[in-house]
Amino acid sequence: MTLQIRRFLEDNESSELFADLLRFVRATDFEVDPEHPPKTAGRLRSDLIDDPIFSRRLLVALDSNTVLGTSTMFLNHLKANRDKGEVIITVHPQARREGIGRALIQATIAEAKQDERSSLLLINPLSEATKGFWASAGCKLRQVEKESRCHLDAVDANLMASWIGGHGPTVGYQLIRSIGACPEEFLPHLIALRDASIDAPLDDIEWEPDQWSGAQIRQNEALNIRRGFEHRRILIVDPDGNPVGLTEVFIHEDDPAISSQGWTIVLSNHRGKKVGRWLKADMYHWLRADRPDVLVLDTENAESNGPMLDINNDMGFSPFLTWGLWQMEIAGLKTRAM
């Protein structure tokens, strides 16, 4: 085997290499999530559209023109974490224990140093193999996340109705639904709610809370449209018009059946009032009425985020995949172990 590792630049690549990357992605996706339909070429192309806030750096490990492994590094351009990156290393099941993962992480570190990154957050399905791999690199497991799935046709509609009943008239809160761009009058509310994610569990991850400006939120909304996502958002405001909570769902035009739950946030002074359940139930009813092609919602939560896991479990979400998050300080890496 003659291994070559280089950046994948879609506009400059042959159709044959793109097709082989798609083959690789389908094989590795099936390993972790056999229920999910195979990724389409259109969905892969949309994934590769660059994000000005979390830019994607894709490295491919090639033997001739066959993709054996990939490193996807997301470079955070928000001020608080400008020195950090998030990395997913994937090797084809039939090409493991050949040193490809080690070669990919070495190449990724070189790329990160060029971009003046000092810390990498490494994300992989949690297993004895991944624990051993990252331990050999001197990395500590900093957080465990559960990815859960909810089949909407199995959700108890009466339970969802009970989560909604009485909230509006009782407390005077108002729901605001939107698709795509957040209405301008509620953009300050969205900024405040995004900033409230500061208290989302980070466990032992060394990471500063990201703060978004209105212009960056607009950039992100435009990117979602370019990538083919319908972004559904529900905000709640109190009787004085102040922000209370948020939930959001992303539906891809090529793959609506299995869609993604985004942020669900309730401001701390409104917790304990079952606002999170109200938000989730209203999104459920909206999707059932308006997007019956959305059959499943996937979501990710830190294992330590008990309150959100309780809501999801009660609604019908079931964990199907566990992710490990390791952190690497580049200067302290045991390069010989790699």
Supply the pTM of this predicted model. 0.92
Q: What is the pLDDT of residue 38?
A: 95
Tens of pLDDT, residues 92-132? 999 999 999 999 999 999 999 999 999 999 999 999 999 99
For the four alpha carbons of 184, 188, 189 and 194, in that order, the dihedral sign comes to: positive
- Where in the chain is CATH 3.40.630.30? 3-117, 148-321
Tens of pLDDT, residues 127-170? 999 999 999 888 989 999 999 999 999 999 999 999 998 665 45
CATH, domain 3-117, list 3.40.630.30, 1.10.375.10, 3.30.390.30, 1.10.3430.10: 3.40.630.30
CATH, domain 148-321, list 3.40.50.300, 3.40.630.30, 3.90.226.10, 3.90.850.10: 3.40.630.30
Q: What is the pLDDT of residue 89?
A: 96
